[in-house]
Amino acid sequence: EVNSRMFVGHPGLRALSLADNKVTCISPGAFSQLPALTEINLEGNPLRCNCHMGWLAEWLRSQRSTTGVPKCQSPPHLRDILITEVPSSQFACEGDEPGCFGVEERCPPECRCEGTVVRCSRARLRQIPKGIPSHATELYLDVNEITELDADRLSHLTALTRLDLSNNQIAVLQNNTFASLHQLSTLIVSYNKLQCMQRDSLAGLRKLRILSLHGNDISMIPDGAFRDLVFITHIAMGANPLYCDCSLAWFSDWVKGDFVEPGIARCAEPPSMRDKLVLTTPTQSFKCVPKVPDEVLAKCDLCYTHPCENGATCRPLANRSYECNCAPAFYGP
């Protein structure tokens, strides 16, 4: 069996020979970690040409420099036929025939997996499910009840190019949540409860082209939050109550530089900036104000509103929560 994890760390590999082995199955997206691959030889392997291998026939047909095309070993009616000559309709499974991957690579029960596309939409999920196949290139988690993102359940998805988290209940994008998703080109986090973006929320997304944060509750964006988005072509920030003082002047300059924001994002406050478009309002209009409202500053730091009583010290925690460290002679949760 062959899967994408075997080739992690070898992006410059140009030629690969797995000829004359005992490979029966190759996981969808197995070669996604090898963008420079120009030669591949798979002949002499007893492939099991069921419904899980149709992707390989299509992929090999799209390659111009395949040096060795393997033959099917099973099922019997396809034996000794080159996999590239098998019609798509002939790649079939009997019953619940397993794919190439081990137990940890099976499709989560809440989801539907089709090749390298994993669909977990409208599944009433409260968190990202465990065991999403590592070969996934598209992951749909939209229209669920997810409140926070567990980076550990995404970090192995190094072949992912599209991630849809729209219409959930996510309140915060924590630092380095997507740091391992080096191939990601589209990230959709629209229509959530986002109030806070940390400076490294989008760190590592150097291939990202489309980012949608539309329809959230974001007021402030840390300077440098988009510094890794070197190939971004479109960002949707509309329907957010942006607080357009001097701390957001960098964002004004940034969107005007490459016109990646289509002129939808508007300022909500301070009053002098209300309803003005970020794209067309001069950057010098983004001026510092004497006092930023507490409710704006508290979006990323609940301790700012001094919620602890009796002299307790407030300590901010992840996901817009906090804990109170009691003063001497006091105790409590």
pLDDT digits (tens, 9 = 90+) for 3-14: 767 887 788 888
Q: For the chain, what is the largest distance between any 2 Cα atoms, rounded to a whole number of angstroms?
A: 81
Between 44-53, 123-132, 179-188, 239-248, the lowest mean confidence (pLDDT) is in 44-53
Read off the pLDDT of each residue in 117-131 and give the average, rounded to a whole number.
95
Is the CATH number 3.80.10.10 carried by domain 107-296?
Answer: yes
Residue 332 has pLDDT above 70, yes or no: no
Confidence of residue 102 (pLDDT cuts 50, 70, 90): very low
Q: Are 65 and 38 in contact (CB under 8 A)?
A: yes
Of 12 and 82, the one with more pLDDT: 82
Name the residue among 220, 236, 186 with its Cα closest to residue 289: 220
Residue 253 confidence (pLDDT): 95
Name the residue among 142, 131, 195, 200 with its Cα closest to residue 168: 142
Read off the pLDDT of each residue in 278-300 and give the average, rounded to a whole number.
93
Residue 333 confidence (pLDDT): 57
For 197-233, the pLDDT digits (tens) are 999 999 999 999 999 999 999 999 999 999 999 999 9
Residue 303 has pLDDT above 70, yes or no: yes
Domain spans of the chain? 4-90, 107-296, 301-325
**Whether the model pTM is above 0.85:** no
Residue 66 confidence (pLDDT): 67
Residue 116 confidence (pLDDT): 76
Q: E strand or H helix at 324, and its extent?
A: strand 321-325
Percent of the chain residues past pLDDT 90, beyond the cut: 56
Residue 299 has pLDDT above 60, yes or no: yes
Domain 4-90, CATH number (from 3.80.10.10, 3.40.50.300, 3.40.190.10, 3.30.830.10): 3.80.10.10
Residue 104 has pLDDT above 50, yes or no: no
215 Cβ partners below 8 Å, 6+ apart? 190, 191, 192, 238, 239, 240
Residue 78 confidence (pLDDT): 93
Residue 319 confidence (pLDDT): 63
- CA–CA dist 203, 210 (Å, integer): 15
Integer CA distances (angstroms), 78 to 18, 62, 90, 154, 244, in order: 21, 21, 9, 37, 65
Of 258 and 184, the one with more pLDDT: 184
Grouping H, G, I as helix, E, B as strand and the rest as coil, residue 248 is: helix
Q: Are 191 and 167 in contact (CB under 8 A)?
A: yes
Task: For residue 151, give both structure tokens.
Answer: 């980076």
- CA–CA dist 258, 173 (Å, integer): 24
For 231-252, the pLDDT digits (tens) are 999 999 999 999 999 999 999 9
pLDDT mean across residues, the chain = 88
The one-letter amino acid at 35: P
- Domains 4-90 and 107-296 fall in the same CATH topology: yes
